[in-house]
Chain A
């Protein structure tokens, strides 16, 4: 592959990488949200008991 072809594929890979990075960040956010919901349900249950 000539150098310019390397660059083109490089550019496409960069775009792909950013999208995948975005998906990874999103899974981290989902995990955090899940923990938060669990915490809140626990809080709610404790309030119910009290």
Chain B
């Protein structure tokens, strides 16, 4: 098991180094944005968190597909943990996104920000994932149901993004539109560091949480064996 522990330690170390570097660069070193000034710096946390959330859901769906394909039960726990991380990053995206909306347009919520709306839909969808999981007895049946639902989730992401774009024409006339700040060389570098930091954070928390859940399962087995 030593390899796995080393990997966890390595991931945690990489995550913390990258996070500190990313935050420092984003807050102090990155050049001031021409029109948005200091508030543009939220970009360095909002977008990486959003992209990491997508990565979590994709990873959860990949593990779900593996479960349905190979029927090995351990994939269920991995898919569940990845989706769980995805919802945490999703909530963070919603929070940082609404702060950005407050800064840029003075409103805590705007429907015309496509990504924000998409995350709201995904948030509802994946909360239902947990509702489904908690209302089925643990076992192969629950694993299959969760896996199928996770696959639907990843199919829903592009479809509802398209729907939101299509919906803009008649649901909510586009009042605020930002086409993403023009990224100069150094800004792009800072953005990449922050993105790497968030992905490393996901990997690290994911590995730890998975180990914790496996420990729970093993202890339950041990308890049954001893009783």
A residues whose Cβ falls under 8 Å from a Cβ of B: 2, 4-5, 7-8, 10-12, 14-15, 18-19, 22, 26, 29-30, 33, 36-37, 40, 43-44, 47
**Nearest chain B residue, comparing its CB with the CB of A16:** B23
A16, chain B: closest CB distance, angstroms: 8
A2, chain B: closest CB distance, angstroms: 7
A44 to B208, CA, bound (A): 27
Given contacts A11-B95, A12-B23, A26-B212, contact A40 B223 (CB under 8 A): yes
B residues whose Cβ falls under 8 Å from a Cβ of A: 23, 27, 37-39, 41-42, 45-46, 49, 88, 91-92, 95-96, 99-100, 102-103, 201, 205, 208-209, 212, 215-216, 219, 222-223, 226-227
B190, chain A: closest CB distance, angstroms: 14
Given contacts A5-B38, A22-B205, A40-B223, contact A33 B216 (CB under 8 A): yes
When the two chains form their complex, are residues A11 and B27 in contact, meaning their CB atoms are under 8 A apart?
Answer: no
A12 to B38, CA, bound (A): 13
**Within 8 Å CB of A30, what residues of B?**
212
